[in-house]
Each structure stands twice: as C-alpha cells, then as structure tokens.
Amino acid sequence: MSGAPDLLYVRARAALLDVAEALDEQLDAVVLVGAQAVYH
C-alpha cells in the first residue's frame, strides 16, 4: 500500500462535488449527507 488514494475514489469524489456545485440553485431541495456534505 503506497498511501496514495485509489484513483477511482478520487474520480468519484470529484464527480460528487461537481454535481453538488451544479445543483447549487436547488440546494433547498437537496439533502447531501456524509463527509462530502461537510466538505461542501
């Protein structure tokens, strides 16, 4: 184990954050939970 994050994890996280940003105008109707919610 190299300590580097898995590339699939990095891509999935980036996609989730991109979607959260794209839904910015709809945030009152969206519930985002988990660690990514804290980050956003």
Please list, in sequence order, all residues whose beta carbon lies within 8 angstroms of the beta carbon of residue 23, skipping any fewer than 6 positions away.
30
> Which residue segment(s) compose the domain that 18 sits in?
7-39
Asked, for residue 32, whether it belongs to a domain, the answer is yes
Count CB neighbours of 6 within 10 A: 8
Q: Is residue 33 in some structural domain?
A: yes
Residue with tokens 């794209």: 22
Q: Please tell me the distance from the alpha carbon of residue 34 to that of residue 2, in angstroms, as a whole number.
A: 26
Please give the torsion angle defined by the CA atoms of residues 35, 31, 15 and 24, in that order, rounded to the nearest 10 degrees: -120
Calculated CA dihedral for residues 34, 37, 23, 31, nearest 10 degrees: 60
Structure confidence at residue 38 (pLDDT):
63
In a domain, 1, yes or no: no
Q: What is the pLDDT of residues 7-40, one digit of tens each?
A: 998 998 899 889 888 988 987 888 777 766 665 5
pLDDT score, position 24: 85
Residue 2 in any domain: the answer is: no
How many folded domains does the chain comprise?
1
